[in-house]
Each structure stands twice: as structure tokens, then as C-alpha cells.
Structure 1
Amino acid sequence: MAEEGTVWKCLRDFSEEVRELHGTDGVSSLEKPPSPLQFHREWLCPNRPCIIQNALNHWPALQKWTFYYLRKCVGSKPVSVAVTPNGYADAVYDNKFVMPEERTMNFSDFLDILEKRTTPPGVFYIQKQCSNLTEEFPELIGDVESHIPWMSEALGKRPDAVNFWLGESAAITSLHKDHYENLYCVISGEKHFILHPPSDRPFIPYETYQPATYKVNEDGTFEVKDQESTDKVPWISVDPLEPDLSLYPAYRETQPLHVTVKAGEMLYLPSLWFHHVRQSHGCIAVNYWYDMEYDIKYHYFQLLDSLTKRVGNS
């Protein structure tokens, strides 16, 4: 127990020192896109987020992507839509890791829901990743960039995926992290991020859960169907909007960053940063996922993760 107490103190001191010296106590805003070298030196290598202004001004999407335009371009084409009863897809519910019902529906019908022309049960969100912009919405690619040139030059590679996001205000992305360097670009509306640096890992609780999916019945009710043949899923159990500090007391050690990304702005979200996302109704966004380098920063995080598990705050 004494050894665990010493390790826990070291983890707390480490997180506090990173916050003080590494600049993870706020998110800077740049007036224009950086050069590849500047971005590499000041943001990518230090693993620090920033908001970039005036990076999307030349995109036709900023002026063109109204619901009318999207309906005209994509029309009644079938697309993938996530449907949940509560807006939480890929999140812990009733002590299970529950994924949305993945429904294929006509894009025009989806827009009818956003515009309240129809009101079926559930919360609807186009959130399928795996480069859904290029795979499901090729009609829109010409209105944005296929990659971000200065980012691609800084990393020496093109993005692994370019994703399109559109949904209801009730759709929420639960707290998680990704192994990607993420450029998140808001076309219309706003996205609201809660961010934690990787150094907050000791205070962010993971547990393992039975995987399941939502299923919508004919009467409009939802049920949760277990995926019996798959392994349990490690996921973050705390809700940063209403953290239960009696259940997760270590979370009070964190100082989450609250960031709003407005239309025309780009957020650089570094790899391994924990993030929780909300949005205004009908917010349209595109993000670029560049695979992270599995360098010494990744291995340091793995060490931090192992030490956290050792003291019992998995």
C-alpha cells in the first residue's frame, strides 16, 4: 500500500508539472494556418492543441453547404446513420458499452428529421468514420480539400481518413481518445469540446464492459442486444458533463479544457488527447485523421497507463 501511495503521488506530481510547464492549461488560437515547420515545432511535437483561424476561407463548402444544397447534391442516396435513444453512440449505458443502430436511409429522409419535417423516435447522427466523406459523399469532395497541405507536409503523409459529420444537437460523443492527429473543421454551427491531455490518464477511469448495440423495434422502442461473441471493451466510464465524484474521486484532480470551435475554424486535436464532443443542431463538420507516429510519446503514454492500472485507477 505504501508503494502504491508513492506511485500515486508521483502520478499526481507528473500531471501537475505537465500542466504548468507544457502549456496544457489552455488552447491557443492562431490567426492563420502555420507553416509546416512551425506546426511541427510548436504544436505537433509538443502534442498541444490549437484553434486555427482562416484555414478554411477558400473552401466552397463554407458558402455552399446549406441543407438545400446538400439535399440537391446528395438527394435520396442511401447513407449510413447512427440511431440511439439518448444521443450517446459508443458509450456506457446500463453497465454495457452500447453502440448505435447503424441504419441505412435516404439522405433526404435524414435531412427531413433534422428539419423537423418528420419526428421518428431516437437521435440521428451521421458519424460513420472510415473516411465516410470519400466513401459515401463523393459528390461533396470538391467543396473541401482532400487533405490539408501544410499538415501533410509536416507529417510526410496523407490522411488515413476524411470524415463527414452532421446530426442533431442531442447527439453526443462520449469521452475517449484516438490514435490520430486530428484536424477538425467546422463548416456551419458549433462544436463544443471538453479536452484532457494524456497526462490526465491517472485520473480518468477505464472499465471493461460487455459490448452491445441498440435495436429499434417496430413500435419505436429501443432495446439493447448483447454481442455475445466479442470480447469486453475498455471504455471511459465518467461523464465529464456530470462527473460522479463519489464514484470517481480521482477525476477531481483534472482541469478539463472547454473549447468551442465555430464555423470556419479548425481545431488541431493531438493524438492521445481525451475528448468529449457536443454540437449545435445541424452542425456540419469535416475532420482529417492522420495516423500518429508510434514514437517515444506513445511509449511514455503506455508506461503512464500501466502505472495507473497498477495503483488501481484503471
Structure 2
Amino acid sequence: MAEGAALRAVRGCLAAFPREARELGCVESVPYLDRPPSPLEFYREWVSPNKPCIIRNAIGHWPALRKWTLAYLREVVGHKVVSVAVTPNGYADAVFHDRFVMPEERQMPFMDFLDIVEKKVTSPSVFYVQKQCSNLTEEFPELICDVQPDIPWMSEALGKKPDAVNFWLGESAAVTSLHKDHYENLYCVISGEKRFLLHPPSDRPFIPYELYQAATYKVSEDGSFEIVDEKTAEKVPWIPLDPLNPNLERYPEYAQAKPLQCTVKAGEMLYLPSLWFHHVQQSHGCIAVNYWYDMEYDLKYSYYQLLDCLTKAMKVL
């Protein structure tokens, strides 16, 4: 009896924690800043309390905002062979049926990819330049001079340079499934717009995770996709829920979550704090650059790990 009461108490605390954290945080929408903050202001007002914001007038001086048309990209880097994620449905690194499926990573001339984005060539597949691990510096070094290798006030605030600078360009059908990162993330939109659905780390008790067999999309000789298991890989914990159309019968706890939604337009920058869950859509041909700064593995990280472990344990009991 005592053990059952203790478990009910823990379950009640986990259910109440996100609501209490939301009341303390008082973030009902993503606020806008009209200018980039000072390093001290940014750390004190946004990084330390782990709150997102959209910053205007922070990248207006970048040549990329004027120069990065598809025609310019074709001229400067069109001849290069680059990594492109290819999927049948636009979802890369996402749950499909009972698998966690990664995209086919295809090496192709960038100009051929642009032909697809500009609809000069039709394809039943969905193409997305989304390779991370600093693909801007590794695959598109010709473009670095049009942006910045880091964001100076962010680097000063955190006392470090970014771990990676990534270049994103793809079709509107390309969607990033709900997930979280261990990075302080700055998303800079160059053209088009990106639409974010966000959950704070405190919403973890409402967000389901399940273990999945890792797999990869492969294109067969007839052009159809098959899913090939990565048999030696460990199972992947991932979120099976689509926040745009959640299955509340299967995941009723998610009804208690209150996601934030925001749209980041050309010339704007989103600060996405570490450990925030995010789901991303984009306009067709949207071009963006993001900076990953590794988070501090401090008490905040330890608290999140405790919350995560307790949530997992209660799901098993």
C-alpha cells in the first residue's frame, strides 16, 4: 500500500511539474528583440533562464541576405557534389511505422538539386540539404564569407565558438520531426521562412519516447524506396508523436502540453535554448544557417536528466 501511494505521489509530482514550471517561466509566446543583445544581457535574460526569443536586425549586414538567390548559389557552388537527404515523404530521421528511419544520403551535383527545388526536374522523392556537423564550412566554404563564422555576442556570452555551422535548403515537404538537441542553437533565416513548434524541457513528462530499430531509406532499381535495417545499431529512443496531429488516444498525456509556435522570417534569428523540443516546417526553397554551441553540462542538465529518468521509470511501472 505504501509503495503504491509513493508511486502515485511521484506520478502526481511529474504531472504538476510542467504546469508549475510554465507558471514560473511565464512564456506564452516567443518574444521579439528589436536588436541583438549585449553578451551579458543575452546570457542573463535568455541563456541562463533557458528561454527562446526571435532577434531582429542581427544579420542585416550579412551579404547573404542580398546575394543568396538560387541563381547565385547555382553560379558559385552549382558544380560541387554535396550531400542531400532523400526520402519518400519528407521526413528524415523520423519514426515510420515501427522503425526509426534515416534518409538516403545521396551525393549529387548541387545544380541537380537546385533543378529539383526550382521544379525544372520533377521527382516523387523529397530532397533536403540538411547534413549537419558543420556542412557549411565542410561542403560550402565558398559561402562562408557571405555570413559569419560565428555570432560574436553569442560566442562572448558563452565563452566558446560554435561546434558547427550548418546550411539548410530544401523543399516545403521536408519536415523535421519533434526532437531535442544538446545545443544552444541560433537559427538564421536567409530567405523564405521556417515555422517552429516548441516545447520547453519541463514538458518532458507529457512527451512520449519509444525505442525503435534503426533503419535507412534505400532507393531500389525501380525507383521505389525500401527500408533497410541497421542490424548492428542499438535501438534509437525517439518521439513517435506528430505534434501537428497528435494521437491523443495513444498518448493522452500530450493533451496537457502547451506548445509554443512561431514563424522566423528572412532576416530574423531564433534563439532556441538547449534541451527544448522542436518540430520544424519551412516554405519551399527556404535557405537558413544555424549555429550550434554546445550546452554547459551543469546543474540544469542534471535536473533534466533526473526528470527524464523519472518519467521513463513511471512509464514502465
Match of 2:301 in 1: 298
Counterpart selection for 2:129 from 126, 131, 137:
126
Match of 1:59 in 2: 62
Gaps of 5+ in 2: none
Match of 1:283 in 2: 286
Counterpart selection for 1:69 from 72, 82, 96:
72
Letter aligned with residue 171 of structure 2: E
- What whole-Å deviation, never above 9, does each CA across 1:217-252 have from its counterpart, x for those lacking one? 122110000010111000011110110000000000
- Contact (CA 8 Å) 1:49, 1:270: kept in 2 or not? yes
- Contact (CA 8 Å) 1:121, 1:220: kept in 2 or not? no
Q: TM-score, normalised by structure 2?
A: 0.98
Q: Distance in 2 between matches of 1:194 and 1:121?
A: 27
Q: Counterparts in 2 of 1:74-223, with a 5 A limit?
A: 74-223=77-226
- Contact (CA 8 Å) 1:124, 1:167: kept in 2 or not? yes
SS at match of 1:6: helix
Asked if residue 9 in structure 1 is aligned to residue 16 in structure 2, the reply is no
Q: Distance in 2 between matches of 1:258 and 1:233?
A: 27
SS at match of 1:311: helix
Detail structure 1 runs of 4+ shifted over 4 Å in the superposition.
none
Q: CA deviation at 1:313?
A: 7.1
Q: CA deviation at 1:25?
A: 2.5
Q: Distance in 1 between matches of 2:102 and 2:231?
A: 14
Match of 2:25 in 1: 22
Counterpart selection for 1:307 from 307, 310, 313:
310
Letter aligned with residue 185 of structure 2: N
Q: Distance in 2 between matches of 1:288 and 1:258?
A: 21
Gaps of 5+ in 1: none
Q: Counterparts in 2 of 1:264-283, with a 5 A limit?
A: 264-283=267-286
Once structures 1 and 2 are overlaid, which stretch shifts more, 156-165 or 9-18?
9-18
Q: Percent identity?
A: 71
Across the aligned residues of Structure 1 and Structure 2, the Cα RMSD in angstroms comes to: 1.0
- What whole-Å deviation, never above 9, does each CA across 1:252-277 have from its counterpart, x for those lacking one? 01000011000000000000000000
SS at match of 2:247: coil
Q: CA deviation at 1:3?
A: 2.4
Q: Distance in 1 between matches of 2:106 and 2:291?
A: 24
Q: Distance in 1 between matches of 2:5 and 2:281?
A: 41
Letter aligned with residue 177 of structure 1: K
Q: Distance in 2 between matches of 1:126 and 1:218?
A: 23
Q: Distance in 1 between matches of 2:29 and 2:316?
A: 25
- Contact (CA 8 Å) 1:202, 1:313: kept in 2 or not? no
Match of 1:229 in 2: 232
- Contact (CA 8 Å) 1:205, 1:313: kept in 2 or not? no
Q: TM-score, normalised by structure 1?
A: 0.98
SS at match of 1:214: strand
SS at match of 2:60: coil
Q: Distance in 1 between matches of 2:28 and 2:12?
A: 20
